[in-house]
A and B are shown apart, each in its own frame.
Chain A
Amino acid sequence: MSLNLHAVRAIYMFELHRTWRTLFQSIAAPVISTSLYFIVFGSAIGSQMTTIDGVSYGAFIIPGLTLLSILTESTSNGSFGIYLPRFTGTIYELLSAPVSVAEVLLGYVGAAATKSVILGSIILLTARLFVPYEIVHPVWAALFLVMIALTFSLFGFILGVWADGFEKLQIVPLLIITPLTFLGGTFYSIKMLPEFWQTVTLFNPIVYLVNGFRWAFYGKADVNAMVSFGMTALFMLACVAAITWIFKTGYRLRS
């Protein structure tokens, strides 16, 4: 079975165009808010703090803060992309088109992940203005970035299929992803926590993402890099499995 590449391209370009149209909301807003973190925690407070594992505090928080934006933006981009047509009713066209699940995902999730990777790159470049840092394993960093962007765009897509109102679309990034990222070692090393809370923290999936990404930057992390990578791959597979099931059963899309 050949791939309907025209359809993938149509969806992908359509979605990227939507970002371009909402440039301020999609790119500028997260870049500005992340820059504020760098200014406050990196430059201002960071200069008063000791280094963590030999990394200055300002540099230490860069991977985690970048991920914070990647996770929330991937989730909301992925979810809006598919929720909007459901909301306006234009989903009829997607359902009546000769496209497979794989093509729909490539289009929507590919576009959402692309946006996130672009956004992440812009944030990392911006951070360089405030905090000097080097990336020790740039290829790994890129790999983590792309995988995490894809995983959370997929997760967002699932959310967009599941949600029955705009409220749910916003609750998940705000009330689940943001707290888990804050508590996932973005601003601190989990070694700083009491032993009990260190164990609890290991149940937070985002710990593995933040630490894997940070390892790629500085060659040091709280969690073994390969464990982080394995967990990241696992989340991605879980999302792929969930989405396959959703389309197989026609859940919420086809009646």
Chain B
Amino acid sequence: MDSVISIKQLDKTYKSGHRALKSIDLDIKRGEIFALLGPNGAGKTTLIGVVCGLVKLTGGTVIADGHDITKDYRAARAKIGLVPQELATDMFETVWATVSFSRGLFGLAPNPAHIEKILKDLSLWDKKDNKIATLSGGMKRRVLIAKALSHEPKILFLDEPTAGVDVELRRDMWAMVGRLRDQGVTIILTTHYIEEAEEMADRIGVINKGEIILVEEKHALMKKLGQTRVTIGLKSKLDAPPDIPQKLDLSEDGETLTFTLTGEGDSEDAGVADVLKALMERKVDFKSVNTKRSSLEDIFVDLVEKKT
């Protein structure tokens, strides 16, 4: 596997004694979109902070695009762009000035054409001469993204990119992430919105209490842990669940049957069909069939609860 970020045995203990990261091992593949999920205080932001240079690690190593982030921090950081969670911006500078500043800070010669392209991509072009203080929250978020992209990073961290962001910006952001991925940029995002991870990510990592408890391809994860709950509404009451190979649960009022299938896709559909066929053979008539596939959110809640 071609890892663009390789984290080994990473440990972070804050001065307060709080151990925020516990021996983390994680590899991010080049060009993928990786979503890091976890409840508040799980260590998502600390993990990003270590890789980006905001937080000093207390143990382990992190290699970013072939460069050790401590020993060779210059080369490593030049490859990384960070969009922080907080809307931290200069207030009195113009959009153009602050984005150009970021490019210089990361060691690149001025390139107005590149800045222009970024601002246009992010619908900020007509605001380029506005002071940042006059922009709305959503626009400020765009400015932060523009700053992070100003030095053409190979790796982009988005820490809770869509927290408190309206639908339009969220769509724009997803589109932008897609474009960046097409250009070969690796994207790591943290989010509370499982929907976001489900929509965009190639792989998903779950962190809880400073430990990575799972890393999996999104589809494999859905397949492995996803469940389909099937509810069948009966035309007439039953006294006992019909005797078929699939175990069925009968509700107390005798009007509905429920069962759960694990797996994803064809095997599940076949499972539902098999049950329905078996019911018809036994002359059990039904008026409705309802299937509900568990979302990543259910899986996630399951995982975190299991571990706590």
Interface residues of A (CB under 8 A from B): 1, 4, 6-7, 9-11, 14, 17-18, 21, 88-100, 250, 254-255
Q: Give Cα A100 to B73, complex, Å.
A: 9
A254 with B77: in contact, given A4-B107, A17-B97, A21-B92 (CB under 8 Å)?
no
Task: Assess whether A7 is in contact with B106, with CB atoms less than 8 Å apart.
Answer: yes
Task: Assess whether A6 is in contact with B108, with CB atoms less than 8 Å apart.
Answer: yes
Q: Give Cα A90 to B97, complex, Å.
A: 14
How many whole Å from B75's CB to the nearest CB in chain A? 7
Q: Give Cα A96 to B147, complex, Å.
A: 12
Closest 7 CB pairs of A and B: A10-B104, A89-B88, A98-B77, A98-B74, A96-B52, A4-B107, A98-B78
1/0 contact string of B24-57 vs chain A (CB within 8 Å):
0000000000000000000000000100111110
Report the nearest A residue to B12, measured CB to CB: A255
B89 within 8 A of A: yes
Chain A residues, Cβ within 8 Å of B14: 255
Task: Assess whether A95 is in contact with B75, with CB atoms less than 8 Å apart.
Answer: no
Report the nearest B residue to A21, measured CB to CB: B92
Report the nearest B residue to A17, measured CB to CB: B97
B193 within 8 A of A: no
A92 with B82: in contact, given A254-B54, A255-B56 (CB under 8 Å)?
yes
B86 within 8 A of A: yes
How many whole Å from A203's CB to the nearest CB in chain B? 36
Task: Assess whether A95 is in contact with B53, with CB atoms less than 8 Å apart.
Answer: yes
A4 with B74: in contact, given A255-B14, A255-B56 (CB under 8 Å)?
yes
Give how many A-B residue pairs fall within 8 Å (CB-CB).
84
Q: Mark out the residues of chain B between 62 and 101 whose CB falls within 8 Å of any chain A CB in the assembled complex.
A: 73-78, 80, 82, 84, 86, 88-93, 97, 100-101
B105 within 8 A of A: yes
Partner of B80, one of A21, A96, A255: A96
A/B interface sample: 16 pairs, CB < 8 A: A6-B108, A7-B107, A14-B93, A88-B91, A89-B88, A92-B82, A92-B88, A96-B54, A96-B82, A97-B53, A98-B75, A98-B76, A98-B106, A254-B53, A255-B14, A255-B54
Report the nearest A residue to B104, measured CB to CB: A10
Partner of B104, one of A6, A92, A96, A250: A6
Q: Give Cα A40 to B97, complex, Å.
A: 43
Chain A residues, Cβ within 8 Å of B123: none
How many whole Å from A1's CB to the nearest CB in chain B? 7
How many whole Å from B156's CB to the nearest CB in chain A? 12
How many whole Å from B277's CB to the nearest CB in chain A? 59
Task: Assess whether A90 is in contact with B88, with CB atoms less than 8 Å apart.
Answer: yes
Chain B CB count within 10 A is highest, among A4, A7, A90, A100, for A90
Chain B residues, Cβ within 8 Å of A89: 84, 86, 88
Report the nearest A residue to B87, measured CB to CB: A89
B130 within 8 A of A: no
Partner of B105, one of A17, A18, A88, A93: A93
Q: Give Cα A4 to B107, complex, Å.
A: 6
1/0 contact string of B102-129 vs chain A (CB within 8 Å):
1111111100000000000000000000
Q: Give Cα A4 to B55, complex, Å.
A: 22
Task: Assess whether B104 is in contact with A7, with CB atoms less than 8 Å apart.
Answer: yes
Report the nearest B residue to A104, measured CB to CB: B105
Q: Give Cα A90 to B105, complex, Å.
A: 13
How many whole Å from A21's CB to the nearest CB in chain B? 6
Partner of B109, one of A1, A6, A95, A250: A6
16 further A-B pairs in the complex, CB-CB below 8 A; given A88-B90, A96-B52: A4-B107, A6-B107, A9-B104, A10-B100, A10-B101, A88-B89, A88-B91, A90-B89, A92-B82, A93-B102, A95-B52, A96-B53, A97-B77, A97-B106, A98-B73, A100-B74
Report the nearest B residue to A7, measured CB to CB: B105
How many whole Å from A51's CB to the nearest CB in chain B? 48
Chain A residues, Cβ within 8 Å of B105: 6-7, 10-11, 93-94, 97, 99
Task: Assess whether B80 is in contact with A88, with CB atoms less than 8 Å apart.
Answer: no
Task: Assess whether B104 is in contact with A88, with CB atoms less than 8 Å apart.
Answer: no
Q: Give Cα A10 to B108, complex, Å.
A: 10
Q: Give Cα A185 to B106, complex, Å.
A: 46
Chain A residues, Cβ within 8 Å of B103: 6, 10
Q: Give Cα A88 to B90, complex, Å.
A: 7
How many whole Å from B252's CB to the nearest CB in chain A? 55
Chain B residues, Cβ within 8 Å of A250: 56
Report the nearest B residue to A3, measured CB to CB: B107
Report the nearest A residue to B76, measured CB to CB: A98
How many whole Å from B253's CB to the nearest CB in chain A? 57
Q: Give Cα A96 to B101, complex, Å.
A: 14
How many whole Å from A41's CB to the nearest CB in chain B? 36
Chain A residues, Cβ within 8 Å of B100: 10
